Amino acid sequence: MDEKNKKPGNPWTKSLLIWVGILFALVLFVQMIDGGSRSATGQAIAYSEFVKQVDEGNVRTVTMATGSSGNATITGKLESGEEFRTTAPADANVSDRLIGKGVAVQVKAEEQSSIWLYMLYNSLPFLLILGISFFVMRQMQKNAGSGAMGFGKSRARMLTEKHGRVTFSDVAGIDEAREELQEIVEYLKDPGKFARLGGKIPKGALLVGPPGTGKTLLARAIAGEAGVPFFTISGSDFVEMFVGVGASRVRDMFDQAKKSAPCIVFIDEIDAVGRHRGAGLGNGNDEREQTLNQLLVEMDGFEANEGIIIIAATNRPDVLDPALLRPGRFDRQVVVPRPDIEGREQILGVHMKKVPLAPDVDPRVIARGTPGFSGADLANLVNEAALLAARRGKRLVAMQEFEDAKDKVLMGTERKSMVMTEDEKRMTAYHEAGHAVVALHEPASDPIHKATIIPRGRALGLVMRLPERDNYSYHRDKMYANLAVSMGGRVAEEIIFGYDKVSSGASSDISYATGLARDMVTRWGMSDELGPLQYAEQDEEVFLGYSVNRQKNMSNETAQAIDKEIRRIVEQGYDRAKHVLTEHANELETLAQALLEYETLSGDEIKTVLAGGSIDRGGVSGPSIPAAGSSIPKAKRPKAGIGGPASAGA
């Protein structure tokens, strides 16, 4: 390996020497062509002028050289020291005239050029053109993957990680997927262990999971553990605008892999080339389908590719062609899900190794407060906490930084620099208080994590709820509770400010409620009117950059019934929210005033406020908030930002 690592420098030296040789040959050629004109020095004068100068006695010395034609080339110096040159005809008696005038004459025979030198003069330009052409063609073949001559060459890169090597010890939270792939690595290291029992190594493994769950990280870990050549390529690297290029690249990739077998080929985002054939307008994309056909043949065709293991990753397994998923091509599908609480704790432990932690940091608490986070989300959380600690001038990352980073990831960055009026601030406070009060009185609702009227991200205020545990199913009572909570902000505005003063702050709430109700009716069969049937429309296809209309698989009457049911379910949530806020109007008022006072309240602080207790912030107790139903003084801090259309989160 050490000898191979020294070789990449040699091509640069070789190319440099070739270019220097070409430049030297060009300079030599120019000198040969121009040498004769530069060898004759002095000012050129006419022969008649030369004779006149001789007769007047102005010529001091002369050198004569007679050529094959009989003409004499004359060079010399005048009495003034000026050099000259001229040509005398063959029949001129120049030497006698010069001797008669007392001029020093030197006669030199002109050298005859050989036939070989003559041939070199005439053939050198052609030799230079042929040499340069040969050099350029050789370079284009050598760099075939990036040049025009290598249009059909594979763009797969061999991964040789010396620094930043990833192993299975760096992969946490997805133990089952890791074990499935670790078996492939063990087979590559000791094939006899499995062959003794008649077992064959899988030809392909498909990694399936949401974005950010660690599919590519698993592939890098395989490369770090296997100790065999590892080629990596993206699915989009195969497809070009010219038909046949992708198939050529697939063939070339497998040819490279055969030379390095046993080896692993990792294809990231394989759905870019492996989509279902025949889908879309015009019977699909010819280039993509030819590429897929070639990939299918190479993976399991008449010619066996022993020792080549294909590992692919995608988050869209539903769009892949069935022929690609059958045993013999991708023998196993490895699901890489979002981690549970145990997995999140392990992932946090891996990322926290690189961060200096304060004693109060508890990964278990952070994992419990981040349900639904993927591995990439958790890595981003740890990084944000480290950046916050550095910004605050701390040497250790404390639990407070992790909590603030979690709020930033979940709710967005605080926009304290934006100033809003007192009326806008009051409306935001009542809007968020409406969400919170409804959530507290809906038994199926998730607990409130935090409520704020400080703008975060694209929202002007937020009520963030987090589940107490990981949920793997979505129940009907929780759906109706979420619908009521989402309508709580809009209902609170109507109750407090009146029908005409309702703002656009519930736009995201209405969008969420409508989408949830539509899924309940069309996907999950939770409408008594329409029954347990699926009415969801098929996903749209994209052909040549244009979206093709979705297939309509229902009658107009059914579509009208679906719209009617969606409206009924959303209005039912609206009525539930209105009933709760009307019955507990005193809690709405109390919580809104507390938000105006403190701007941000945690779930426990909200319960304390509604019970009439005081809030302790950093060892200093704030003013006591009266219990629900008591009169509350007007807010004293007309700060906080608001900008754009109001968007309050449920």
Residue 553 within any structural domain of the chain: yes
The whole-number pLDDT of residue 200 equals 76
Residue 282 within any structural domain of the chain: yes
Residue 274 within any structural domain of the chain: yes
Higher pLDDT among residues 552 and 313, named by residue: 313
User: Which of the residues 298, 384, 432, 605 is marked catalytic?
Assistant: 432
Could you tell me the sign of the dihedral formed by the alpha carbons of 539, 541, 547, 549, in that order? Answer: negative
Residues 599 and 502 in one domain: yes
The whole-number pLDDT of residue 493 equals 92
Residue 16 within any structural domain of the chain: no
The whole-number pLDDT of residue 542 equals 44
Give Cα separations from 146 to 140, 152, 237, 354, 443 (angstroms). Answer: 8, 10, 12, 38, 62
pLDDT tens sequence across 266-307: 888 888 888 887 765 444 457 778 888 888 888 886 666 677
The whole-number pLDDT of residue 552 equals 58
Residues 331 and 347 in one domain: no
pLDDT tens sequence across 622-637: 444 444 443 333 333 2
Residue 134 within any structural domain of the chain: no
Residues 464 and 595 in one domain: yes
Report the range of poorest mean pLDDT among 10-19, 71-80, 559-568. Answer: 10-19
Residue 210 assigned as binding residue: yes
Range 215-241 average pLDDT? 79
Report the range of poorest mean pLDDT among 150-159, 491-500, 564-573. Answer: 150-159
Is residue 561 within 8 A of residue 530, CB to CB? The reply is yes
Higher pLDDT among residues 61 and 514, named by residue: 514
Say how far apart CA 435 and CA 482 lie, in whole Å. Answer: 10
Report the range of poorest mean pLDDT among 66-80, 452-466, 476-490. Answer: 66-80
Residues 323 and 346 in one domain: no
Residue 167 within any structural domain of the chain: yes
For position 71, which CATH number holds?
A: 3.30.720.210
Say how far apart CA 31 and CA 27 lie, in whole Å. Answer: 6
Q: Encode 261-270: b = buried (16+ Cβ within 10 Å), e = exposed.
A: ebbbbbbbbb
Residue 435 assigned as binding residue: yes
- Residue type present at position 614: S
Residue 215 assigned as binding residue: yes
Residue that has been written with the tokens 């694209």 in this structure = 458
pLDDT at residue 141 greater than cutoff 70: no
Share of the chain above pLDDT 90, in %: 17
Residues 602 and 486 in one domain: yes
For position 640, which CATH number holds?
A: 1.20.58.760
Residues 301 and 374 in one domain: no
Residues 385 and 487 in one domain: no
The whole-number pLDDT of residue 280 equals 54
In which band, very low, low, confident or very high, does the pLDDT at 139 lie, cut at 50, 70 and 90? low
pLDDT tens sequence across 236-247: 777 765 566 778
| pLDDT averaged over every residue in the chain | 77
Show which of 83, 111, 139 is a domain's final residue.
111
Total count of domains within the chain = 4
Residues 203 and 346 in one domain: no
On the CB side of 444, CA atoms within 13 Å amount to: 13
Show which of 411, 436, 467 is a domain's final residue.
411
Residue 456 within any structural domain of the chain: yes
Report the range of poorest mean pLDDT among 103-117, 256-270, 441-455, 536-550. Answer: 536-550
pLDDT tens sequence across 474-500: 889 999 999 999 999 999 999 999 888
Residues 476 and 620 in one domain: yes
Q: What are the tokens at 243?
A: 């038909």
Higher pLDDT among residues 257 and 477, named by residue: 477
The whole-number pLDDT of residue 548 equals 42
pLDDT at residue 543 greater than cutoff 60: no
The whole-number pLDDT of residue 646 equals 37
Domain that holds residue 263: 157-335
For position 370, which CATH number holds?
A: 1.10.8.60
Question: Is 557 considered catalytic here?
Answer: no
Residue 522 assigned as binding residue: no
Say how far apart CA 284 and CA 541 lie, in whole Å. Answer: 10
Residue 600 assigned as binding residue: no
Residues 445 and 556 in one domain: yes
The whole-number pLDDT of residue 520 equals 93
The whole-number pLDDT of residue 244 equals 67
Residue 8 within any structural domain of the chain: no
Residue 509 assigned as binding residue: yes
Higher pLDDT among residues 375 and 91, named by residue: 375
